[in-house]
Structure 1
């Protein structure tokens, strides 16, 4: 069986990661590559339970490092339960958020020491790095407005959507800094594009960087 590939999608709130994940999965399926969509925090039964706890804000009072530990616990189960087995079966895993979200939210914005966070990351992922990370870049005012429109009337604002605009601007810059620091792994996409245009731009990057037939 051919080797599976690991692709992650990153970016701020309302950037369109979930929509893009579905579009890429459809393109991969048509090209003959079995896709698997997942997300973080979440993706496995235990990790989804931790997701609910984190996004509710109940962990926030314990500080950014405690949040990083919770994300790491969820990630370990997610990797062991879903990501590694899927890759071993030859599936192309598309994950909505992964290590870069922890680096940005808890590291840059939460001010958890970079060396400490790096050591925690190394233990958590045990060498499982994404082969390609697509960073969806968007003005946070636009992203937050999108997130507000999609929220159900009775749905509360989650832990991170409720942060200040200044927070989200720093978040955007932190993602762009990661992309500049790791250009071989990361590519930045203009998330103001319509969904179809964004999917096409992402697909061109996949074809250029991963083993996909140019005519697919």
Structure 2
């Protein structure tokens, strides 16, 4: 049985580390595909380079449209085939990122961003979303401490990143059944344990309902 699970959060929230650990754990008993946005396939990775490269200043709506275009190709080329094959798909970011980053932080408006993404993804929403909540200042400090290569979005002012978190908080209130929050300020081990509790509860519930 296929499941589409996405991971969201501000910069430095630990999504990549968590997804890697969850993939390793779930792969013992399930077929699992891990991917990311923007990216995941050739065309979308090229769009990622445009979106995240420093110096590529662009209009807010151009940015939102590029994310949606990348998402569409990624969805039809990788995510949907993996789901049709019965895999669990773990995706680092999806539609909620666009709403938080472009809709709220870029001030385009959540409804406008949702509209262009509905065109891109049709009705293919995630089954479950894990939101790694973290103070944005702490996240940016993590990036520097871990010497991760920063990208164009990392370099935005703190108030931009605070608005991203506000956008995610609003989404969690709007979709409480789908979006489950995890305190990303905890140790990686505790974040993993909390995430697996949520995922296993979801998977067991789906089995019982089938």
TM-score normalised to the size of structure 2? 0.93
Give the secondary-structure state (helix, strand or coil) at the position aligned to 2:27.
helix
Deviation at 1:118, TM superposition (A): 2.1
CA RMSD of aligned residues (A): 1.7
1:60–1:67 CA contact under 8 A, matched in 2: no
The equivalent residue for 1:19 is 17
How many aligned residue pairs are there?
A: 207
The structural deviation recorded for 1:57 is: 4.2
In structure 2, stretches of 5+ residues that fail to align are none
Give the ranges of 4+ consecutive aligned residues of structure 1 lying more than 6 Å apart after TM superposition: none
8 Å contact kept, 1:6–1:93:
yes
Partner residue of 2:37 out of 33, 36, 40: 40
For residues 106-158 of structure 1, the C-alpha deviation after alignment (integer angstroms, 9 at most, x for no partner) is: 10111223333222111111111000000001111111011112335xx4x31
Equivalent position of 1:91 in the other structure: 87
TM-fit CA distance, 1:53 = 0.6
Answer with 96-105 or 163-172: which moved more. 163-172
The gaps in structure 1 that reach 5 residues or longer are none
Q: Report 1:62-81 matches (<5 A).
A: 63-81=59-77
Deviates more, 1:36-45 or 1:51-60: 51-60
Distance 1:113 1:136 in 2: 22
Once residues 109 and 181 of structure 2 are traced to their aligned partners in structure 1, the CA distance between those partners, rounded to angstroms, is 26
Equivalence for 1:52:
49
TM-score (norm 1): 0.90
